[in-house]
């Protein structure tokens, strides 16, 4: 029998333990040996407490019981993200996880809604939030899991989670180590390589000597100790398009009886603020650009908003961008080491998850891996680039001019890939994914376009063929269906109390 293939993961935290857990689930332990090296003396970055629905698929892959996971991580449910003050002061819209209405004759529903909004008198217009199940439930503070009757809109409700990312990593560590993953608490001194910038043979540790391996996964965060320092792989810096590169985090006021089932993104005069409700606390963060303000000023302003002069602030810095290659030789970077997009749309853990699933699909092994590496790098670049365009579009579509920061965002040049999307939508409301590898779909783009008052010149021609009376009746019926579906649901806090309340 041949020796097991040795996979060595550098770094714990969410990325490391998500990787270890997934590999321990799908790989035969008699054929693969997995080791994770982490130093308890080195802190981890945790900005990933808000997630998007893909995290449910990841947990389902692992076979994790949802109630147990939420109890262990002080988690709550999330139906979408509310954006406040982004277009102008006082504006509010939501990016919900579920669809608006239903396509008619193959034409996406948003075209019909745009026609309804354009043709109807103001007092007769049905608001967009009333045509989305998740948004309707979020505004009412209600929640349920999908029910068995798939004829009901409640049979298809889409949701994600808020949770303590540190607790999630700890939970997955227990999951992975019970499945044979070897955990080593030590600090890496260097990577032993066959030649400069070449393949890695071992990690040299402070106390445990050398840990040899066949394939190495870099989950060392922004330090990128393997893919960056050892391999010398460069980094695409996107801060000219995405200037927010800093945050200060503090605990906010918390009431467990009224936690809402959505994340709040509240734009302030030089950036935005997140508000993430967990069972035991409300996480708050003040996101800003170091180009326009400094950390001392940001902390002072944030404390004034929160009224918190007691707790110690946690300052975070990052560079929005990606590695030139996430997979180089026998090393693959996952998580922050591979790239990062600011947490506006809660994509941090999603990028980690997709990197893991992609690595499993292109599973490394003995011999030549160059074609697998090329495919991994191509798909990784496509995915994070499309997320970049979606996130930066929030800034570009603002009409705020109350600070140099917002004027810069409004007036900045944007990538051609985003400009083409804007031009297409402006012409006739068209929204298309450039590839199946894109994370955000028509629902997501329309939510942002409509919420930030970016209006097309016309709708799809087929949307004009439906008689006006029939269209209006269809929209009124949808509003009634969603209101009736949501009315009997338990409150979000009540659902948590019944099913997954943490001790």
Assigned domain for 283 exists: yes
Q: What is the pLDDT of residue 1?
A: 47
SS3 content of the chain, % helix, strand, coil (to 5): 40, 20, 40
**Do 113 and 256 sit in the same domain of this protein?**
no
Annotated binding site for FAD: which residue ranges?
Answer: 12-15, 336
Which among 164, 161, 153, 166 has a CA at the least distance from the CA of 44? 166
**Do 45 and 62 sit in the same domain of this protein?**
yes
What global pTM score does this model have?
0.96
| Sequential DSSP letters for 327-355 | EETTEEE-GGGTEE--GGG--HHHHHHHH
Q: How far apart are CA 98 and CA 84, in angstroms?
A: 20
Assigned domain for 208 exists: yes
**Do 207 and 235 sit in the same domain of this protein?**
yes
Assigned domain for 409 exists: no
**Do 342 and 489 sit in the same domain of this protein?**
no
Q: What is the pLDDT of residue 437?
A: 83
The per-residue pLDDT for range 356-366, each reduced to its tens digit, is 999 999 999 99
Count the domains in the chain.
Answer: 3
Annotated binding site: which residue ranges?
Answer: 12-15, 78, 336, 345
Q: What is the pLDDT of residue 255?
A: 87
Tokens describing residue 498: 């019944």
| Sequential DSSP letters for 102-125 | --BTTB-HHHHHHHHHHHS-GGGP
Element (H, E) at 302: helix 295-306
**Do 185 and 251 sit in the same domain of this protein?**
no
Q: Could you list the beta-strand ranges (E) of 182-291.
A: 182-185, 188-193, 200-205, 209-212, 215-218, 235-237, 246-252, 263-268, 271-277, 282-288
Q: Rounded mean pLDDT of 418-438? A: 93
SS3 5: strand
In this structure, what are the phi and psi dihedrals at residue 46, rounded to the nearest 5 degrees? -130, 90
Annotated binding site for L-tryptophan: which residue ranges?
Answer: 345
Tokens describing residue 61: 């892959």
**Do 311 and 337 sit in the same domain of this protein?**
no
Q: How far apart are CA 82 and CA 91, in angstroms?
A: 10
Tokens describing residue 29: 């332990």
Q: How far apart are CA 387 and CA 341, in angstroms?
A: 8
Domain ends where: 317, 347, 363?
317
Which residues are CB-neighbours of 65 under 8 A, at least 6 positions away? none
Q: How far apart are CA 171 and CA 69, in angstroms?
A: 8
**Do 145 and 15 sit in the same domain of this protein?**
no
**Do 444 and 463 sit in the same domain of this protein?**
yes
Which residues are CB-neighbours of 255 under 8 A, at least 6 positions away? none
Mean of all residue pLDDT scores within the chain: 95
Assigned domain for 395 exists: no
The per-residue pLDDT for range 7-19, each reduced to its tens digit, is 999 999 999 999 9
CA angle in degrees (0–180, nearest 5) for 431-353-39: 145
- The answer to whether residue 299 scores a pLDDT higher than 90 is yes
**Do 167 and 234 sit in the same domain of this protein?**
yes
Q: How far apart are CA 117 and CA 104, in angstroms?
A: 17
The per-residue pLDDT for range 231-278, each reduced to its tens digit, is 999 999 999 999 999 999 998 888 888 899 999 999 999 999 999 999
Helices 348-361, 13-26: axis angle to 10 degrees equals: 30
| Sequential DSSP letters for 389-429 | HHHHHHHHT----SSHHHHHHHH----HHHHHHHHHHHHH-
Q: What is the pLDDT of residue 46?
A: 53
**Do 423 and 368 sit in the same domain of this protein?**
no
Q: Which of the residues are catalytic? A: 78
Annotated binding site for 7-chloro-L-tryptophan: which residue ranges?
Answer: 78
SS3 6: strand
Assigned domain for 93 exists: no
Assigned domain for 81 exists: no
Q: How far apart are CA 342 and CA 387, in angstroms?
A: 10
Distance of CA 68 to the CA centre of its chain: 22
The per-residue pLDDT for range 162-211, each reduced to its tens digit, is 999 999 999 999 999 999 999 999 999 999 999 999 999 999 999 999 99
Q: Rounded mean pLDDT of 310-335? A: 96
Q: How far apart are CA 452 and CA 466, in angstroms?
A: 27
In this structure, what are the phi and psi dihedrals at residue 100, rounded to the nearest 5 degrees? -95, 120
Q: What is the pLDDT of residue 362?
A: 98
**Do 182 and 252 sit in the same domain of this protein?**
no
SS3 33: strand
Q: Could you list the beta-strand ranges (E) of 97-223.
A: 160-162, 182-185, 188-193, 200-205, 209-212, 215-218
The per-residue pLDDT for range 430-452, each reduced to its tens digit, is 999 888 789 999 999 999 999 99
Q: Is 195 exposed, middle or buried (0-12, 13-18, 19+ CB in 10 A)?
A: exposed
In this structure, the chain runs to a length of 503
Q: What is the pLDDT of residue 45?
A: 54
* Burial profile 321-355: b = 16 or more Cβ within 10 angstroms, e = fewer: bbbebbbbbbbbbbbbbbbbbbbbbbbbbbbbbbb
**Do 189 and 60 sit in the same domain of this protein?**
yes
Q: What is the pLDDT of residue 435?
A: 80
* Half-sphere exposure for 150 (CA within 13 Å, toward CB): 0
Which among 373, 331, 353, 330 has a CA at the least distance from the CA of 23? 353
Q: What is the pLDDT of residue 469?
A: 94
How, if at all, do strands 80-84 and 263-268 pair? parallel
**First-to-final CA distance of the chain:** 47
Q: How far apart are CA 48 and CA 46, in angstroms?
A: 6
Residue with tokens 């970049």, as numbered in its chain: 388
Domain ends where: 317, 347, 364?
317
Q: Tell me which residue range forms the domain holding 487.
A: 100-155+415-493
Q: What is the pLDDT of residue 189?
A: 97
């Amino acid at each position: 029998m041949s020796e097991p293939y040795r996979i060595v993961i550098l770094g714990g935290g969410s990325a490391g333990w998500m990787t270890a857990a997934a590999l321990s689930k799908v790989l035969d332990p008699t054929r693969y040996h997995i080791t994770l090296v982490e130093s308890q003396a080195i802190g981890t970055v945790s900005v990933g407490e808000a997630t998007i629905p893909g995290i449910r698929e990841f947990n389902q892959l692992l076979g994790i019981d949802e109630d147990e996971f939420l109890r262990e991580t002080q988690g709550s449910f999330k139906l979408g993200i509310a954006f406040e003050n982004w277009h102008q002061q006082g504006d509010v819209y939501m990016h919900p996880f579920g669809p608006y209405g239903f396509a008619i004759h193959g034409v996406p529903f948003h075209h019909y809604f745009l026609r309804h909004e354009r043709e109807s008198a103001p007092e007769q217009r049905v608001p967009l939030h009333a045509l989305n199940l998740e948004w309707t439930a979020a505004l009412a503070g209600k929640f349920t899991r999908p029910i068995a009757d798939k004829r009901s809109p409640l049979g298809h409700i889409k949701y994600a989670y808020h949770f303590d990312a540190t607790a999630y990593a700890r939970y997955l560590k227990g999951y992975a180590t019970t499945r044979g993953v070897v955990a080593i608490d030590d600090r890496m001194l260097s990577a032993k390589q066959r030649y400069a910038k070449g393949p890695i043979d071992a990690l040299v540790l402070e106390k445990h000597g050398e840990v040899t391996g066949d394939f190495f996964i870099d989950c060392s965060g922004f330090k990128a100790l393997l893919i960056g320092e050892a391999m010398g792989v460069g980094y695409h810096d996107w801060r000219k398009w995405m200037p927010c590169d800093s945050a200060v985090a503090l605990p906010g006021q918390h009431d467990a009886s009224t936690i809402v089932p959505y994340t709040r993104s509240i734009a302030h005069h030089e950036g935005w603020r997140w508000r993430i409700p967990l069972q035991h606390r409300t996480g708050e963060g003040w996101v800003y650009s170091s180009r326009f303000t400094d950390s001392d000023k940001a902390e002072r302003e944030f404390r004034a908003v929160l009224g918190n002069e007691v707790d110690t602030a946690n300052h975070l810095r990052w560079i929005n961008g990606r590695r030139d290659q996430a997979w180089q030789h026998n090393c693959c970077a996952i998580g922050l080491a591979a790239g990062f997009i600011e947490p506006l749309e809660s994509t941090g853990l999603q990028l980690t998850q997709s990197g893991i699933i992609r690595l499993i699909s292109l599973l490394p092994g003995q011999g030549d891996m160059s074609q697998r590496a090329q495919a991994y790098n191509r798909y990784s670049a496509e995915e994070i680039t499309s997320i970049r365009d979606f996130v930066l579009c929030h800034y570009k579509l603002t009409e705020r001019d109350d600070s140099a920061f917002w004027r810069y965002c409004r007036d900045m040049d944007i990538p051609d890939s985003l400009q083409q999307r804007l031009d297409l939508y402006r012409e006739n409301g068209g929204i298309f994914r450039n590839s199946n590898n894109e994370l955000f779909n028509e629902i997501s783009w329309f939510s942002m376009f409509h919420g930030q008052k970016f209006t097309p010149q016309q709708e799809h021609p087929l949307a004009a063929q439906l008689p006006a009376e029939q269209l209006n009746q269809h929209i009124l019926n949808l509003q009634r269906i969603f209101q009736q579906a949501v009315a009997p649901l338990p409150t979000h806090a009540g659902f948590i109390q019944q099913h997954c309340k943490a001790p």
